Structure 1
Amino acid sequence: MEIKMPKLDVSMTDGTFLGWLVPDGSAVTAGEPLYTVGTDKVETEIPSPTGGVLRHGTVQTDSEYPVGTTLGVLEPEG
């Protein structure tokens, strides 16, 4: 499952990726905070939509990305 830059409000077209909260290769559970996104109004922790093993993508911390950009991947455990 791809982890994408979320759309936090109707007018959002891009957001700043502020960093991962979980190390690459770690097992995560649904609802566990994965990463932080910032906009001109707010910083938000984004939870995992499902359980799995997190694989970081090539995104850079403190860089801006369009909504829908793939930030990382959740692989099934095992």
Structure 2
Amino acid sequence: MGTEEATFVDWIVGDGDPVSVGDPIYSVETEKVETEVEAAASGVLRHGDVEADETYPVGTEVGWIETS
């Protein structure tokens, strides 16, 4: 049985800031662990409509990376 939801802790990188592959961009927390999520691409980070300390289903889009 996998995790079905996680709490969005906070952004590490600001909206509109450049990121590179592997940069930590935000952190999430489950019942067992808090972890940082890394950028999967290089570009400009855009925040989605999520709030710190709110719980969301796994797979919820929290933001995206604009690439050129």
Q: TM-score, normalised by structure 2?
A: 0.95
Computed over aligned residues only, the root mean square deviation of the Cα atoms, in angstroms, reads 0.9
Q: TM-score, normalised by structure 1?
A: 0.83
Larger RCO (CA within 8 A; separation ≥ 6): 1
Aligned length: 68
Quote the Cα distance in structure 1 between the aligned partners of 2:24 and 2:8.
Answer: 14
Identity of aligned residues (%): 47
Which deviations, in whole Å up to 9, do the C-alpha atoms of 1:32-66 show, x marking residues without a partner? 00000000111001110110100001100000000
| Alignment gaps of 5+ in structure 1 | 1-9
- Say yes or no: does 1:39 pair with 2:30: yes
2:13 aligned partner, one-letter code? V
Following TM superposition, where does structure 1 have runs of at least 4 consecutive aligned residues deviating by more than 6 angstroms? none
